[in-house]
Structure 1
Amino acid sequence: MALPCGSGRRWTRAAMMTFCLFFLMPMSSFGSRNTNTIFDKKQKLEVQQQLKHLNRPALKSIKSPDGDIIDCVNINKQPAFDHPLLKNHTIQMRPSSYPEGFSFDESNDVSSNSEPKFTQPWKLNGRCPEGTIPIRRTKEEDLLRAGFAANYGRKKHHSIPSAQYSADQVIHEYAVLSEQGDKYYGMMAEINVWNPHTQQTTEFSLSQFWMTAGRHGQDLNTIEAGIMVHEYLYGDNNTRLFTYWTDDSYQNTGCYNLVCSGFVQVNNQIAMGATITPYSNYDGTQSAVKFYVWKVDINGSGDWWMKIGDRDFGYWPSSIFSILSNSASSVQWGGEVINLMQDGQHTTTQMGSGHFPEEGPGKASFFQNLNVIDGLKTLTGPRNSQTIITNPNCYNLINSGDSFYFGGPGRNPNCP
């Protein structure tokens, strides 16, 4: 995921701190009074212009108990259609087909009045009417945390999960199962929902899937979604739903949720970037969310649809991708954290439940019901998988085929 105070590259800790301090210290720390005033006005103008662009006119706005504002935006006025390749796009309100063998929570004709098995706090105070979609409103403080307003909601030059590890840099750490060696036209997974601790504002913890095609650093295409705690992006420590995509290795395309154009949302019940509840309880009740992604019209230029729980949530039009317009070459599931190595020590930011996978059911975080749609258009469990674990003393993964437990506490006696 993107480094919050920079471009997403591997930064030394000193460089990271220099960059962050520059953008977070008071303007009075720089130059003369006149220079400060001009710079402040320019920054303010940039922020206001970006807010105007990001926040579309709402037919209705709902104040969530967690402090978010959810705007109900005309479905035809959503950011997706700013994409130059979607100017004349005809919105698809439901998939043209469902994969054979996918086992959904409910029937495909589920009533629009029924509830998903998870919920979001904003719905306690209202609902978005038909013909609109809920979009989390971006606030001024969100953009100010990003340093440059144009950087908000984006990540750049960051790799998909790998085993690279360096103790003197800002580190992306992983406990991931990776499936590759075939063409892939879909996947499914169920993740239990936790609220992991993060040590610093600029660190995050997430559980997600990646579907990828192409090569990192050149033409990597990805579609991604999951749950995350990311205080720098959202301003709090709530666990939130998210999506992401890129067509060029995170360089100029793609963003979280609906911050930029591309992803088309059709569901009016779920807001990306909003808090998801309830959380799982250690050694108690487990709360989980299911994700399904599949390519409709496999033999043609079908779009990539995503279902969340029993909801047809939306789709990535195939036209916004180069390589991924055809098929994916790998699928990954798992956890990721940022480790800033403050004071030369490993972060205490947790992955998953904050407990090692050895603790098992009810205590460790899991991915289960893992499946892919392979090159034969057949729904199957992972068959060509390998684990990517950057530091098993800090975060680990135990694989059992179509499910796995993963996570950990971060810093501990074996992970100093």
Structure 2
Amino acid sequence: MAPRSKCCSSLFVKFVVSFLIVASTFSSTLSLQLNQTLQPQQELQKLRRIRAYLKKINKPAVKTIKSPDGDFINCVQIHLQPAFDHPELKGQKPLDPPERTKNSDPVDEVTHNLQQWTESGESCPEGTIPIRRTTEEDILRADKIRRFGRKPRRFVRRDSDGSGHEHAVAFVNGQQFYGAKASMNVWTPQVTDPNEFSLSQIWVISGSFGNDLNTIEAGWQANPALYGDQYPRFFTYWTTDAYQATGCYNLLCSGFVQTNSKIAIGAAISPRSTFSGRQYDLSITVWKDPKHGHWWLELGSGLLVGYWPAFLFSHLRTHANMIQFGGEIVNTRSSGFHTATQMGSGHFADEGFRKAAYFRNLQAVDWDNNLIPLSNLQLLADHPSCYNIKQGRNNVWGNYFYYGGPGRNVHCP
């Protein structure tokens, strides 16, 4: 057979190369077209899931009130609130208010606005409760729709273990507790990363800090990821499995049963404390009703907000073994160093009244529904050069402490 000529070989090689180039270009174009087709479909599916979720948690409103801070407050019939989606509550109505804790302060009328949405003088009709409307923008800020309204799983421990949570707290443990009470002043701490938050709260805790942790939490927080701004907002939280699959903030899942028509959980608090100026307190009591065993939440003197049904919990069905008070921040180190997110007022405990944040009149609730002073109070500051805590006691404030700090500074790199 005669050998193939160099000319034919050269042409064949050129043909193959040209074919490969065209095939590669066609493949890239097809891939791009497929991606462009798939991307809108994926976005559409995500939007459908978001709208279905919004329909589930935004119950039909009898009336809607626009707050000066931009929130919309839906007045929802009390028996249609999210709690009654729970299988054990379906078809039921909220319980009547129980007897308050013994030796409580006399019931005072609320003479000032606690939240911004009430500043216009509007209120929800009788038989309804105010619920902050959740928006598409709120959910789009969350990593996953199914985790919206829940604390990230990696942020579950009270003590610092590199998870990103840092605390300055006072706590008591080793006994049986049936509730806790304290007053805390409200500030507007700066949160420097959208995935961080700053809060001040009471924890009622039972179980271990493993997968069986039960907590009830209430206080105020600045949480841009959840609310889209930096206003301090009244909030609640609960979990029965260390924040894994149960519980949520506020009324974003079935659990907490609200009974009050004047307080919107998750709404901005107003007025707020100012540095060297007037201080505004938020007084919170969480206690277990001896008759039915549910955990009730009270603001001020006598303003019952609602309750966590006992069946939600395992360990907290009986009692708590720890109560804790203080501040917490999340430090993502997104810039490679410690966050400048503030805790409390953003000033250290040593600066004292009108400058530092405080908790005062710390009390526990005993088995007979009595408010009792705390003994053996322990202090914990994970990183005292970033956020610290300082305890005191006097005849007016009882047990108290100052806490907080600026976060990143020359001593907190």
In structure 2, the residue matched to 1:162 is 159
Which amino acid letter does the alignment assign opposite residue 410 of structure 1?
G
Query: Any idea what SS the aligned residue of 1:84 has?
Result: coil
State the Cα distance separating 1:375 from its structure 2 match.
5.1
State the Cα distance separating 1:89 from its structure 2 match.
3.7
Which amino acid letter does the alignment assign opposite residue 386 of structure 1?
Q
In structure 2, the residue matched to 1:40 is 43
Q: Which moved more, 1:300-309 or 1:328-337?
A: 300-309
State the Cα distance separating 1:257 from its structure 2 match.
0.3
State the Cα distance separating 1:178 from its structure 2 match.
1.2
In structure 1, the residue matched to 2:404 is 407
Which of 219, 223, 228 is the aligned partner of 1:235? 228
In structure 1, the residue matched to 2:279 is 286
In structure 1, the residue matched to 2:116 is 121
**1:91 aligned onto 2:94:** yes
Equivalences for residues 76-225 of structure 1 within 5 A: 76-95=79-98, 97-103=99-105, 106-107=106-107, 114-115=109-110, 117-125=112-120, 126-157=122-153, 158-164=155-161, 166=162, 171-225=164-218
Hey, what's the Cα distance between the residues in 1 that align with 2:245 and 2:326? 25
Query: Any idea what SS the aligned residue of 1:343 has?
Result: coil
Hey, what's the Cα distance between the residues in 2 that align with 1:99 and 1:160? 30
Sort the Cα spacing of 1:415 and 1:302 in 2 relative to 1 into closer, same or farther, 3 A.
same
Hey, what's the Cα distance between the residues in 2 that align with 1:215 and 1:117? 40
Query: Any idea what SS the aligned residue of 1:206 has?
Result: strand
Which of 322, 344, 352 is the aligned partner of 1:330? 322
Sort the Cα spacing of 1:211 and 1:239 in 2 relative to 1 into closer, same or farther, 3 A.
same
Contact map agreement 1:161 1:388 (CA 8 A) in 2: no
In structure 1, the residue matched to 2:388 is 396
Which of 53, 59, 75 is the aligned partner of 1:72? 75
Hey, what's the Cα distance between the residues in 1 that align with 2:63 and 2:369? 42
State the Cα distance separating 1:301 from its structure 2 match.
4.2
Contact map agreement 1:199 1:349 (CA 8 A) in 2: yes
Hey, what's the Cα distance between the residues in 2 that align with 1:312 and 1:66? 25
Hey, what's the Cα distance between the residues in 1 that align with 2:112 and 2:118? 14
State the Cα distance separating 1:99 from its structure 2 match.
1.5
**1:306 aligned onto 2:297:** yes
For these two proteins, the number of residue pairs brought into alignment is 374
Query: Any idea what SS the aligned residue of 1:86 has?
Result: coil
Q: What's the % identity of the aligned pairs?
A: 45
- Per the normalisation by structure 1, the TM-score is 0.86
Which amino acid letter does the alignment assign opposite residue 115 of structure 1?
V
Hey, what's the Cα distance between the residues in 2 that align with 1:223 and 1:274? 19
Hey, what's the Cα distance between the residues in 2 that align with 1:178 and 1:186? 13
State the Cα distance separating 1:117 from its structure 2 match.
4.4
Hey, what's the Cα distance between the residues in 2 that align with 1:184 and 1:159? 22
State the Cα distance separating 1:200 from its structure 2 match.
1.2
Q: Which moved more, 1:379-388 or 1:59-68?
A: 379-388
Sort the Cα spacing of 1:155 and 1:342 in 2 relative to 1 into closer, same or farther, 3 A.
closer
Query: Any idea what SS the aligned residue of 1:45 has?
Result: helix
Which amino acid letter does the alignment assign opposite residue 349 of structure 1?
T
Sort the Cα spacing of 1:301 and 1:83 in 2 relative to 1 into closer, same or farther, 3 A.
same
State the Cα distance separating 1:41 from its structure 2 match.
1.1
Hey, what's the Cα distance between the residues in 2 that align with 1:116 and 1:94? 21
In structure 1, the residue matched to 2:372 is 380
Sort the Cα spacing of 1:180 and 1:408 in 2 relative to 1 into closer, same or farther, 3 A.
same
Hey, what's the Cα distance between the residues in 2 that align with 1:163 and 1:378? 33
Rg (Cα) greater in structure: 2
State the Cα distance separating 1:344 from its structure 2 match.
2.2
Query: Any idea what SS the aligned residue of 2:374 has?
Result: coil
Query: Any idea what SS the aligned residue of 1:198 has?
Result: coil
Hey, what's the Cα distance between the residues in 2 that align with 1:154 and 1:376? 33
Equivalences for residues 256-267 of structure 1 within 5 A: 256-267=249-260
Contact map agreement 2:113 2:119 (CA 8 A) in 1: no
Query: Any idea what SS the aligned residue of 2:317 has?
Result: coil
> How well do the aligned residues superpose, as a CA RMSD in angstroms?
1.8
For 1:111-157, what per-residue CA distance to the aligned partner results, in whole angstroms no more than 9, with x for missing partners?
Answer: xxx53545211113321011000000000000111132222101253
Which of 312, 317, 324 is the aligned partner of 1:320? 312
**1:63 aligned onto 2:66:** yes
Contact map agreement 2:348 2:387 (CA 8 A) in 1: yes
Q: Which moved more, 1:370-379 or 1:141-150?
A: 370-379
Sort the Cα spacing of 1:263 and 1:275 in 2 relative to 1 into closer, same or farther, 3 A.
same
State the Cα distance separating 1:294 from its structure 2 match.
1.1
For 1:39-65, what per-residue CA distance to the aligned partner results, in whole angstroms no more than 9, with x for missing partners?
Answer: 111101111100100100000000111
